[in-house]
Amino acid sequence: MEWANTLIQNGAAHKECEFFEIESESFFKRLAEGYDASAKNDKFDGYPGGPGFGPSSGRMSSSLFEAFTIAQLEKFNFHAKSMGHNLLQKEPGFAMAFFSKTFSEELSKEYQEFLTQEMKLANLNNLLQFAEGHKVADSLVQNLTHEIMTLTIKLDQFDEETFKKYLKAPLEKNEHLKQELL
């Protein structure tokens, strides 16, 4: 814990090593403690960068989470969960960073080029299942639902439930669509 406190207090974490190299449990525990304190008190001043850190202050930016590796995201969320904060459920930036890193291969254009249409549909359903269960951007869920709907039509496997889900949150609003259809 002293290692993490020293680095945090001196702001030296980035000077001592590359961010992706940080593996210390105490560092992520201290980070989670700062998040927890901020969630409980807007005026928490125990983390570098001034007052506040976490959900109420907006100090936890997506760019911070994007700097984490998957292992670091998991460690941070593990410690945050022990304090009652599941970041995959509470923090959109965290959930999006976790999603993009976890599914980077599945999202890559190169990967998609070698999949059959059926494999693409299975991949999209897997991505949607994760997205719907976590606090990712609504636009991601909308785009995945749209892609699934389009692909099921191409495969002549139209799914009414996917269509209804899409109508509730379409990519583009249609003013002529009757509300009773929704």
Q: How many domains does the chain have?
A: 2
Q: What is the mean pLDDT of the chain?
A: 79
pLDDT of 71 higher than 90: yes
Residue 60: the pLDDT is 67
**Other Cβ atoms closer than 10 A to 22:** 21
Average pLDDT of span 153-172: 86
User: Are residues 112 and 86 located together in one domain of the fold?
Assistant: no
pLDDT bracket for residue 44 (50, 70, 90): very low
User: What are 157's two structure tokens?
Assistant: 């496997």
What is the value of pTM for the model shown? 0.70
DSSP helix, strand, coil percent of the chain (3-state; round to 5): 65, 0, 35
Residue 97 lies in a domain: no
Tokens of 52: 């506040």
Residue 173: Cβ within 10 Å count: 7
Q: How far apart are CA 76 and CA 82, in angstroms?
A: 10
pLDDT recorded at residue 174: 65
159 with 132, same domain: the answer is: yes
| 6 and 86 belong to one structural domain | yes
Whether residue 29 is found in the same domain as residue 84: yes
The verdict on 83 and 8 lying in the same domain is yes
Separation CA 122–CA 59 (nearest Å): 37
Average pLDDT over every residue of 102-112: 88
In this predicted model, what pLDDT tens digit does every residue of 1-36 receive, in sequence order? 444 545 555 555 445 567 778 888 988 999 899 888
Q: Which residues form the domain of 6?
A: 2-91
72 and 122, same domain (yes or no): no
Give every CB contact of residue 89 below 8 A, 6+ residues apart in sequence. Answer: 95, 134, 135
